[in-house]
Chains A and B, each alone.
Chain A
Amino acid sequence: MIEDELLKWKFKSGSKDALRRIYEKYRNYLLTLAMALVNDAGLAEDIVHDVFVTFAQSSGTFKLRGSLKSYLSTCTLNRCRDQIRARKRQPLSLDEDIPMQSDFDPPDKRMISEEQSRQVAGAMAQLPYEQREVIALHLNAAMKLRQIAGLQNVSVSTIKGRYRYGLQKLRSALNGRL
């Protein structure tokens, strides 16, 4: 996208406005991705915060030829993986409350069931991390399976398997509740 190329160029020159604009443009998207992976709103916010602070610190040496969105997604993904490894968490129960909000508020006219979102997010948290990552990257971050295979360092067929089995588990978990 032309805007992203311009923002990259301005950011490299040290423009605070460009960095703010990049943050405002991608913060919700990265937050949703982080949340899908770590299932902890506070941790997801910390991760997004850290991604942008590290990004800001790189302005003097920043060199990126590819997509800004993909770059930030990868940074977020790496931090999520670090957190998962560090915490060695057990899968959360379906009762964990997830502050997912309708993307078409206001609250007096709820369009999308918060309860449904909560249960979907809770079911995602039950999946093995590798399956959850594939589903979140493919559906929330719109990455191609081939890209995800590169990130997970496995074959495309392995990724397809993780995606298929992950969705099957989600369907089974949710059909009793929705």
Chain B
Amino acid sequence: MRPADNINDLIKKLQLRASADLDARVHGDISEALAGHEKPQSVRSEPNIWRTIMKNPITKLAAAAVILIAVAISVTILDKSVTPAYAIEQTIEANRGLWFIHLKIEPSTKGHVDEMWVQFDDNRQLTHLRMNFPDKEVVWYEGRAEVWFKAKKHIAVLREKDMLARLRMSYESFDPKRIVEELYQTQGSENVQIVIQEPSVEGEPITITMTKKGSPNVRAVFEVDPETKLLQQEERYKLEDGEYKFLGRTRYLDYNNPADSEIFVLKPPADLIRRDQTTQDIGLAQGALSDEETAAKLVRQFVEAAIAQDYTKASKLIANVPAGWVEEQPYQGEQVVRLISLGKPELNAKTGSLSVPCQVEVEKDGQTSVQSIVFRVQQVQGRSGPWKIIDF
């Protein structure tokens, strides 16, 4: 059976997630819209039926008896100490009050974040964010980002909205509020089984196991604090060869408790090079070219600079690296000798970056080979700045 024969499933699998921008817009505008429809308090008081009834001494006595009976019944009910069963809505409700989250991702993987701290304002807008990677630390607040490249002993200072969009995307994958709401929404789906297990021993977490059948067959196991109803942990598994293989875990370590008041301040050694992108001339100016033409030209210039071994120029075309960075890279004796082809740049609408595929001829120890590389390029500091290479 060819893949597209299962077209119904492919279409059903298309899922889009609302961005934080959309959330902020909607929350702001619906508040305004509702405020315009608030029902004014009536100035004229309604006839007080209760006062009329209570004027009669017999009804006073009857009312008192009813109240006493109601109290007696509720005391009896409370005395039985019935604990309501857990429902995911309780965690959704508990998440509403979150303004600070600290989480850790395991296992630590090169190139991916392994610890995060985030802080929000009252409208759930991100105000501070810190991400620790194995090789760098990133802090974002008040419209600026600092990236400490530990191995290169260098800090880049950035001031661009696109950086925030990428950081926010990374955070949203681990956002407990989003994760639990999506879990809630999948209840009742035909391909999804959700099993909630209340703890048998006091102090143990509530466990929610979500199994999604189909392709791929995946499982997530959530642990919820029975007291706070907040998410403590998510573990991810994938079915392989008949068994669920462990893929990773996110642990939610702190909620609303920033233990370190300076957690959003980087503390690198004093002798680091500081490269402030807000003032330095880097990248390629767009001029009259289209985005795609600029992206292709940028990559061509970079490759040509690498061929000419002009590493200073090559480094200037890459974001967040000091002069000479290209030269320092351990390319293991490989030298780019020829640009074979440049593919058509493709836009990522969500981040605004373009991917530019290319093929280069590389020489090593007298032997040549062809390598395919995909460069990702983006404008610096919003839509009016120069373009730069952000990844390859």
Contacts and interface: CB of A to CB of B under 8 A. Distances in A.
Interface string B1-41: 01111011011111111110111011101110110111100
A63 interface: no
B276 interface: no
Contacts of A68: none
Interface string B164-194: 0000001001100000011001000000000
Interface residues of A, number: 61
Interface in A92-144: 95, 97-109, 111-112, 116-117, 120-121, 124, 135-136, 139-140
A139 B220 CA distance: 25
A16 B34 contact: yes
Contacts of A174: 3-4, 7, 10
Interface stretch (B43-51, B319-327, B343-351): B343-351
B14 A100 contact: yes
With a 10 A CB-CB cut-off, give which of A36, A52, A104 has the most chain B CB atoms. Answer: A104
A2 B115 CA distance: 39
Contact of A45 (B15, B22, B33, B344): B22
Interface residues of B, number: 57
Contacts of A102: 15
Nearest to A172: B4
B251 interface: no
B181 A24 contact: yes
Contacts of B216: 111-112
A146 B25 CA distance: 35
Contacts of A170: 4, 7, 11
A95 B349 CA distance: 12
B263 to A, nearest CB: 22
Contact of B38 (A14, A103, A121): A14
Interface string B190-232: 0000000000000000000000100010101000000000000
B109 interface: yes
Interface string A18-61: 01100111011101100110000110110011001101110110
Contact of A59 (B5, B37, B92, B248): B37
Contacts of A55: 30
A124 B3 contact: no
Given A31-B16, A44-B16, A97 B348 contact: yes
B67 to A, nearest CB: 28
A167 interface: yes
A90 interface: no
Given A52-B26, A175-B2, A97 B13 contact: no
B118 to A, nearest CB: 15
Contacts of B346: 95, 97
8 contacts: A32-B15, A49-B26, A59-B34, A101-B16, A109-B248, A117-B14, A170-B4, A170-B7
Interface of A: 3, 14, 16, 19-20, 23-25, 27-29, 31-32, 35-36, 41-42, 44-45, 48-49, 52-53, 55-57, 59-60, 95, 97-109, 111-112, 116-117, 120-121, 124, 135-136, 139-140, 167, 170-171, 173-175, 177-178
